[in-house]
Amino acid sequence: METYYKNLLENNKKWVAEKLALDPDFFNKLAQGQKPPVLWIGCSDSRVPANEIIGAPPGEVFVHRNIANMVVHSDMNLLSVLDYAVNVLEVKHIIVCGHYGCGGVQTAMSNSHVGLIDNWIRHIKDVYRMNYNELQVIEDSKDRVNRFIELNVFEQVCNLAKTSIVQAAWERKADLHLHGWVYDVADGLIKDLNVNLADNSSLQEVYKLDL
């Protein structure tokens, strides 16, 4: 265990040396500030490292991760990240990236009681309830959980669109696009769900804010 831990720090030194060998100014440039075009909202799952799977170098992706890539509109952490990304960094794209094999979504589909996390999982169960008719008729449980994972991403993209932060940005004609993706941990490929929102026109009337 001790060796494992020390290796992480050794790996860091090697990484720095590799970066500097390619570009002596690599860290000097990053130290000047960030202007990332993308906000990534992904799952905390260790197999879905945001930058790595899309080949994005440091400085390109502002990242928020939580269990099952949820956009919960009373979550101060998410809202703070979103507000900073949209209003200060002025990102152009917000990507909600779920993943097949997501333990959070699988748990939400079951009756397991895990602990405190049950309360977080509740938000995902709500997505199941909202899509009950579609999900209940899928007999194969793997197919059903995969579809649930996709529907959860779709719902979280809609949750982003419902926030006052995103709607205010659209109101002032900011170039801001929302996307939904699902990453497959089994082959490394990303499926674009083609939910691309750039205004609030597709929202149910009750969610549209007069800004």
Both tokens of 24, joined, read: 């002596």
Q: Which CB sits closer to Co ion, 102 or 158?
A: 102
Residue 45 binds Co ion, judged by CB under 5 A: yes
Q: Which stretch binds Co ion (CB under 5 A): 22-30, 100-108, 137-145, 173-181?
A: 100-108
Q: Which of these segments, 22-30, 102-110, 146-154, 158-166, binds Co ion (CB under 5 A)?
A: 102-110
* CB of 83 vs Co ion, minimal distance in Å: 24
Number of residues that bind Co ion (CB under 5 A): 4
Cβ at position 177, least distance to Co ion in Å: 23
Q: Is 199 a catalytic residue?
A: no
Whether 102 is catalytic: yes
Q: Does the CA dihedral 46-51-52-58 come out positive or negative?
A: negative
Tell me the C-alpha distance between 34 and 30, whole Å. Answer: 7
- State how far the Cα of 22 lies from the Cα of 39, in Å rounded to an integer: 27
Strand ranges across the sheet with 38-43:
61-66, 38-43, 93-100, 177-184, 190-192
CA distance 78 to 65: 9
Which of 45, 169 has the CB closer to Co ion? Answer: 45
Report strand pairing: 61-66 vs 93-100. Answer: unpaired
Q: How far apart are CA 96 and CA 53, in angstroms?
A: 14
User: Across the strands, what pairs with 192?
Assistant: 181
Say whether residue 151 binds Co ion (CB under 5 A): no
SS3 108: helix
Least distance between Co ion and beta carbon 93 (Å): 21
- Binds Co ion by CB under 5 A, chosen from 102, 124, 158, 160: 102
- Name which position in 39, 43, 70, 85 contacts Co ion (CB under 5 A): 43
Q: Find the part of the chain contacting Co ion (CB under 5 A) among 37-45, 132-140, 177-185, 200-208.
A: 37-45
Q: Which amino acids are annotated catalytic?
A: 43, 45, 47, 99, 102
Which residues here bind Co ion, judged by CB under 5 A? 43, 45, 102, 104
